[in-house]
A and B are shown apart, each in its own frame.
Chain A
Amino acid sequence: MMANTMQRFGDGYLREMTETELRKDIEEGAHDAADRCGGSPLSDDELKHLFDIYASPRRFISVEPGNEILLSHDGGTIKLNVGVSGGAGLGLDIGRRTCTEIYERVLGSDTMDFGHVDYSFKPSKNILADEQQEMEQTLLSTIIPIYYGAMPNLGSYTRPDGPFRNPTTLLTEGKIEEAREASEEMMEAATRDMVYVASGMYEAGADGVNFDTTGGFGDVDFLSTLRACEILKKKYPNMFIEMGMAAEFILGIHGALTYDGVRLAGLWPHQQVKLAAKAGVTVYGPVVNTNTRRSCAWNVARLCTMLKSCMEAAEIPVHPNMGMGVGGSPLTDIIASDAVSRGSTAVAEISRVDGL
């Protein structure tokens, strides 16, 4: 009789699957990634390791001693108090200094991200002095590395939130040249803001900066951030720079933008990481999106296949995003530990990533 397993799906719910169905799901996930972005397929041993992780009836899976990896954060401190962009915080009535101390002394965090409640560079520039003040106080009482985190968030530069015409609106009107002009204007302003805020926080003593959700506005977002990294690395050679991505694939909002002679639209993680390194990024954080209709086993097989090419290409450390809706994690605010622990173990032991 065929053994049954319980499998978490990308929508967060558990469903029963036979071992044969599970094995097929893992193979299909791996093939999907290989078909889309090419690169080396997972070996038989790697597929078996994945199957063992997902076929286990245990509620929690972990790495073997010696296979532990580093953990970096995005939006870390603000998840304990107010939340991200006005929603879904834990509601603790504490400031970011106390949040950082909790992460350090209670939750065993290796590092901490320190960001503004809107978690975007554009609004942060207006309150930079407040951000510096709280960072300086926090650095006196903590040990772990702390970097300032924010999103490039190029969308916030378009009307009515910002001064520039919206390229996506112009595109729907068939105004391609005007859309490209607007994109280029936005990029200049965004790069200037990112350099201004990151410089200010580094001057306050932060260990560096995390450009989170890079590429959220496609190639326009990606290029403006690469340029900011390049400027910052020249200005502060010792600055730590992490670049976490928004999605697995760079959308061509502009379509013709290049960096170092490489067209940005359509790049996959194994291609993105090379440009990130060239721009001076210290740690690159690829994203592989979660398909909510497929099992976590399917999604993590797909993730591990994309990461295999990425790790082969990477000359810098790689910390893939493994949170809500990405990295094989379900798209739920509170993610089931059986799913997170399996994904975490898989990328540490199969993909051999440097961290998460």
Chain B
Amino acid sequence: MEKELIDNVCEEKIYERIYDNHSEAINNYFYYKFGDREMAEESVQEAFIKLWENCKKVPFGKAKSFLYTVANNLSLNRYKHKKVVLKYANSVPQQTQDNQSPDYKMEEQEFKLKLEKAIQNLSEKQRVAFLLHRIDGKSYKEIAEILNISVKAVEKRMQKALESLREEIDAFK
């Protein structure tokens, strides 16, 4: 009985827990893809409403993949791709605290800008995989699940992403 209860996504508590665990990742995934905050949040909404409507058919264990499947199938043609704008955290502990000459700071600032621009110019597939790993800290396995591809394919995307980023950044040197 207990297990059945846990399995039931229609249960408010369970549903909320699923939202708590996955909503942000889905949101970020869509943000990395399209660069549109509004659209990302709307996708989260739609995916979770679909989950609620199908709560009797979706066991707890399948909820995550259901959400991503729905999200991937949403018709998002009405949205235009925007630039993915990212922000550097202010409170990052500086590894090179002792080495903060003005020159260094300027160089760092310059690099950060170049990196952001280079990320914007990545292909959608590479960018999504790269940012899920770097920002959301998803493992390659998790990314593979989200994108519904193999881990090897994720590794390939990461490899390609790194190569393109380096090439673009070094090209402006």
User: Are A and B genuine complex partners?
Assistant: no
